[in-house]
A = this chain, B = another copy of it.
Amino acid sequence: MKKHNFYAGPAILPESVKKAASEAAYDYKGTGLSLMEVSHRGDDFVEILDNTEKYVRKLLKVSDDYAVLFLTGGASSQFYMTAFNLYNPDDKVGYVDTGTWSTKAIKEASAFADIETLASSKDKNFSYIPRGYKIPKDLKYLHLTSNNTIYGTQTKEWAKTSAPIICDMSSDIFSRELPLKKFGLIYAGAQKNVGLAGVTLVIVKKELLGKTEWHIPTMLDYRTHIAKNSSFNTPPVFSIYVTMLNLEWVLEQGGVKAMEKRNTAKAKLLYDEIDNNPLFVGTVAKEDRSPMNVTFLLKDNTKDAAFIKKCTEAGIVGIKGHRSVGGFRASMYNAMDISSTQVLVDVMKAFK
């Protein structure tokens, strides 16, 4: 039976990506060697790394004043690395708290930086994106989380500020067009919409770096990885290869503009069902709903297990909601076809 993969991350990959990755794991392009067992300094991997960077630049229109890096440690490492590389004592930096990941970013930065939390949606269990908060004029940077995987919200209008935005885009990068020039640094764990767990994409405006007063360990300093083209030490070769394959697939589909259209159609289909089906209710302010992670509840939660059972019978996996919200979460990243969303909607319609 075909599986419909709604996992929040690690998450669905296109069929063609899985096929090519599977082949490369055994024999990379007829070389007689697995891609997992060849030097990261060899021509094959250097070409993969170059292509991956090229695709990132092409998809998001990244100009040369930004570096594109493939690091490790996940977005969780970026929570302190961003502040550690960009902040100096006496700088004014602002954070917006839109859920678990923002909260962690604030915690890690606060340990050594005097930061200001400009707004928070904690008062309503992070079910909306704060608006209209005051942004100080002399901010060094503004830190945002574009899409909140756990709570199902997405920032749709970017803050009006001349300060560079530092943004965790782990769960919606490559899902829509971006005004890239507004951002000083974008980071994203790969395991949702980028590629394979184990690599973290960082896009950073180079002129922001090198201005801290403290010592930064070599591996935590973005400049190390810029100077060595993400190969200061052995990079996560296979995770980068899957990233390359996945971004190639996005390009073939028409790029982020096509993804945005595709994701909007899936989101409309599912949110319409949530709004029209009397058994279900969404958990998020309508204007802030994420097309990536759709969170919803059964009004009668004693039926949760029965609904999960019907989903499982239809081949749906990964639909259980995060414990912070409860109910259900349907993650519908780029690789998901609308036919899988339709299967879920059909189960919801049939559910009594």
**Chain A 1-33 interface residues, beta-carbon cutoff 8 Å to B:** 1-3, 5, 7-13, 18-19, 21-23, 25-26, 31-33
* Chain B residues, Cβ within 8 Å of A108: 217-219
| Distance in angstroms between the alpha carbons of A170 and B257 in the assembled complex | 44
| Distance in angstroms between the alpha carbons of A19 and B27 in the assembled complex | 9
| Closest chain B CB from A103 CB (angstroms) | 12
- Of the residues B18, B234, B317, contact of A9 by C-beta under 8 Å: B234
* Chain B residues, Cβ within 8 Å of A220: 80
- Of the residues B12, B22, B75, B80, contact of A26 by C-beta under 8 Å: B22
Q: List 18 A-B contacts (CB under 8 A).
A: A7-B38, A10-B40, A11-B37, A13-B37, A18-B36, A22-B22, A22-B34, A32-B315, A33-B317, A39-B318, A40-B197, A73-B219, A74-B219, A80-B217, A80-B218, A111-B217, A191-B237, A236-B236
A side interface size, CB within 8 A: 64
Interface string of A218-249 (1 = CB under 8 A from B): 11100000000000111111110010000000
* Chain B residues, Cβ within 8 Å of A238: 196-198, 238-239
CB nearest neighbor in B for A7: B39
* Chain B residues, Cβ within 8 Å of A76: 218-219, 232-233
Q: Judge if A134 is at the interface, Cβ distance under 8 Å.
A: no
| Chain A binding surface, main DSSP class | loop
- Of the residues B12, B25, B31, B318, contact of A18 by C-beta under 8 Å: B25
| Closest chain B CB from A345 CB (angstroms) | 21
Pair B33/A25 contact, Cβ less than 8 Å = no
| Distance in angstroms between the alpha carbons of A34 and B12 in the assembled complex | 9
* Chain B residues, Cβ within 8 Å of A73: 72-73, 77, 219
| Distance in angstroms between the alpha carbons of A104 and B217 in the assembled complex | 11
- Of the residues B18, B32, B191, contact of A2 by C-beta under 8 Å: B32
Pair B37/A21 contact, Cβ less than 8 Å = no
| Distance in angstroms between the alpha carbons of A226 and B72 in the assembled complex | 19
Q: Judge if A215 is at the interface, Cβ distance under 8 Å.
A: yes
* Chain B residues, Cβ within 8 Å of A189: 233-234
Pair A80/B219 contact, Cβ less than 8 Å = yes
CB nearest neighbor in B for A320: B39
Known: A72-B73, A198-B236. 8 other contacts (CB 8 A): A5-B33, A9-B39, A10-B237, A18-B34, A21-B34, A76-B232, A108-B218, A189-B234
